[in-house]
């Protein structure tokens, strides 16, 4: 039984897998980590392995807490992964992006896959049918765009995100919503079209915390998967068992 831990900038996601089946997942604030870990340990005494992916500083305390309970694999750019990493600066590649590519290898072997993760940032990652990771793109996420308009101007208000926005805004608030919501959706659609023109039979995975707010028309080759990153971390952990 595996425990998967994804440490973000503000929160922690955990998942318990048994035989590659997701049994439970949680999302909570970092401050509650010790409390939550203790509850997971009591509920799942069969956990015998764990993996931690962190895009945040200060995870050393968490690691020291976990290692007292379970064997721990700390994901980094040197970790064995089930794909060839052709990123020019692998040491700078986000661990979340590594996990997403691993999930694509697991779920869609021998296929061209574009993974779009709509979180704090929006990341685009391409995995080829030869199981090669080429790289992708990073752009500001939904809330980052709203906060930037408010912070770097003197009069624009901080607007709450909504899933839909009219094309022509007739107030400052609706104009901001139009610019950000419609702008991101057009970015998503344009990026998918650009990748589709270069990679044959492209499969697109749309995941991340803002994927529901930024809903795009899902075609036969586009799939939504909210657990994709967690599944990727579990696959990396299983992959390393056999190394």
Domain contains 79: no
Distances (CA, A) of 37 to 44, 66, 88: 10, 8, 36
C-alpha to C-alpha distance for 104 and 127, rounded to whole angstroms: 7
Domain contains 218: yes
Q: What is the pLDDT of residues 167-206, one digit of tens each?
A: 999 999 999 999 999 999 999 999 999 999 999 999 999 9
Domain contains 197: yes
Q: Which residues are annotated as a binding site for ATP?
A: 6-13, 120
Range of the domain at 66: 1-74
Residues 131 and 47 in one domain: no
Residues 237 and 120 in one domain: yes
Quick check: helix, strand or coil at residue 169? coil
Residues 45 and 114 in one domain: no
Question: In terms of Cα–Cα distance, which of 69, 55, 128 is closest to 97?
Answer: 55
Confidence of residue 116 (pLDDT cuts 50, 70, 90): very high
Domain contains 167: yes
Domain contains 83: no
Q: Which residues are annotated as a binding site?
A: 6-13, 87, 94-97, 117, 120, 172
Residues 30 and 110 in one domain: no
Domain contains 232: yes
* Centroid of chain to Cα 203: 17
Confidence of residue 58 (pLDDT cuts 50, 70, 90): low
Dihedral, 171, 174, 177, 182 alpha carbons, nearest 10: -110
Q: Which of 24, 42, 74 is the last residue of a domain?
A: 74
**Active site residues per annotation:** 96
Residues 109 and 38 in one domain: no
Residues 123 and 173 in one domain: yes
Q: Is 71 left (phi over 0), alpha (psi -120 to 50) or beta?
A: beta
Question: In terms of Cα–Cα distance, which of 164, 166, 161 is closest to 147?
Answer: 161
Domain of residue 40, CATH code: 3.30.420.40
C-alpha to C-alpha distance for 72 and 51, rounded to whole angstroms: 6
Residues 122 and 225 in one domain: yes
Domain contains 148: yes
Residues 35 and 115 in one domain: no
Confidence of residue 59 (pLDDT cuts 50, 70, 90): low
C-alpha to C-alpha distance for 139 and 162, rounded to whole angstroms: 19
C-alpha to C-alpha distance for 102 and 108, rounded to whole angstroms: 10
* Number of domains observed in the structure of the chain: 2
Q: What is the pLDDT of residues 61-99, one digit of tens each?
A: 777 788 888 888 999 999 999 999 999 999 999 999 999
Q: Which residues are annotated as a binding site for substrate?
A: 87, 94-97, 172
Domain contains 193: yes
């Amino acid at each position: 039984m595996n425990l998967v831990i994804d440490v973000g900038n503000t929160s922690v996601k955990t998942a318990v897998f048994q035989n590659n089946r997701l049994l439970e997942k949680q999302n909570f604030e970092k401050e509650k980590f010790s409390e939550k870990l203790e509850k997971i340990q009591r509920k799942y005494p069969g956990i015998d392995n764990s993996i931690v992916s962190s895009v945040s500083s200060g995870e050393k305390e968490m690691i020291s807490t976990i290692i007292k309970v379970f064997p721990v694999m700390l994901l980094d750019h040197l970790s064995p992964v089930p794909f060839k990493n052709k990123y020019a600066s692998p040491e700078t590649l986000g661990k979340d992006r590594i996990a997403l590519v691993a999930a694509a290898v697991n779920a869609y072997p021998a296929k061209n896959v574009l993974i779009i993760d709509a979180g704090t940032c929006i990341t685009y990652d391409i995995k080829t049918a030869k199981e090669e990771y080429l790289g992708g793109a990073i752009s500001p996420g939904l809330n980052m765009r709203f906060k930037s308009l408010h912070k770097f101007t003197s009069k624009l208000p901080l607007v709450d995100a909504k899933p839909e926005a009219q094309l022509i805004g007739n107030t400052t608030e609706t104009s901001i919503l139009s610019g950000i919501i419609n702008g991101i959706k057009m970015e998503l659609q344009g990026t998918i079209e650009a990748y589709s023109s270069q990679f044959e039979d492209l499969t697109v995975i749309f995941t991340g915390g803002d994927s529901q707010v930024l809903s795009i028309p899902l075609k036969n080759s586009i799939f939504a998967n909210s657990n994709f990153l967690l599944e990727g971390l579990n696959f990396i952990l299983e992959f390393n068992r056999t190394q």
